[in-house]
Amino acid sequence: MVLRGRMLCVLLTLWIGVAGTVETGTVSLSVQPQQQEEFVPVEELEPEDQLPAAPLLVAAYAFAWLAIFVYLWSIWRRLAHVERELGDLARRMAKR
Amino acid sequence: MTQRLFLPLVVAATVVFAVAPLLIAWAPYESTMGLVQKIFYFHMPSWAAMFVSALVCGVASAFFLFKGHATGDRIAAAAAELAVVFGLIGLVTGPLWARKAWGVWWQWDARLTMALVLWMIFISYLLLREYGGPGSEKLAAGVALFGMANVPFVYWSVNVWRTVHPTTNVVPTLVPGMRIALWWSLAGFLLLYTTTMMARVRLESQRASLDRLYRDLDD
């Protein structure tokens, strides 16, 4: 009875030890990067992975500058129009 | 006073924007996003200018609504237009960055959706002023107050809700090269905002003078 109990304890300890080793091994394996088995040409990557960054960067900066310059030009044009009208009106009033 | 400050501010903004590309190019590459992350140096300052403009528009609208200051209305109209322009830059540069960084142009998450709604509030402000008929200035001022109230929600949305957008904690953790480029660009955008705002307010003042002259002519 005592022997059976000791055997059970040893088996349980061994099982926990083996299970622990396997579990640790699994974790350490999952942390390691996967071994490369082939070289993949860049054209075969997912579209988002092969998307070049430079055109996006250039588009972003070009749009920002374009928006700023168009807006500054629109202010300048509107201001010139109002000031011209203001001048005309002031002259008309002065004549009266 | 404002006319005396205008030219030095324009010169300062020009100098800052002339140097900005060098600092942006010199800034280190981000480890996961690489080159496309450099959109950040215009994207974040454009939103900062938009937020400032939304706050200016809200405060000026409050002065107009509760104190009846006509100057407040003119400042609010100018600020709303600038909020739309800087918001548009942020809304276009963001998806160009996201396409590479996240693999999608747009994500309907809390931050992006709220930012779009904030921008649309100021679009509605301008539409209301343009097509709302007599008295629409006061209605628009009410809309501006809601726009201003939305700003803190948009700012903190990345920290409160789960979104794909980086949190506000990114900025204090930037390395010196990135930090200098960002603050320099931010200074440039705020200088540009100030000078453009001065010109835009002058336009509103001149329009008010023109209306006054027409009224005098009718009388």
Taking contacts as CB-CB distances below 8 angstroms, the residues of chain B near A67 are: 85, 88-89, 92
Distance of CA B131 to the CA centre of its chain: 23
CB contact under 8 A, B206 and A54: no
| Minimal Cβ distance to A86: which of B192, B196, B210 | B210
The predicted-structure confidence for A3-45, as pLDDT tens digits, reads as follows 556 655 665 665 666 555 444 444 444 445 555 566 666 566 6
Q: What is the CA radius of gyration of chain A?
A: 39
CA pair distance B156, B152, nearest whole angstrom = 6
Measured in angstroms, the CA of A69 and the nearest CA of chain B are apart by 11
- How far is it, in rounded angstroms, from Cα A24 to Cα B92? 48
ipTM above 0.85, yes or no: yes
Which residues on adjacent β-strands are paired with residue B30? B34
pTM of the predicted structure, to 2 decimals: 0.82
Contacts of B47 in chain A (CB under 8 A): none
A vs B: CB pairs below 8 A: 81
Put simply, whether B103 touches A (Cβ < 8 Å) is yes
What mean pLDDT comes out for the span B48-72? 96
Non-local CB neighbours of B69 within 8 Å, separated by 6+ positions:
B63
Residues A72-84: tens digit of each pLDDT: 999 999 999 999 9
Query: Domain locations in chain B?
Result: 2-218
pLDDT the model gives residue A30: 45
Report the CATH number of the B2-218 domain.
1.20.120
Amino acid letter, residue B166: P
Q: Which two tokens stand for residue B115?
A: 């930012």
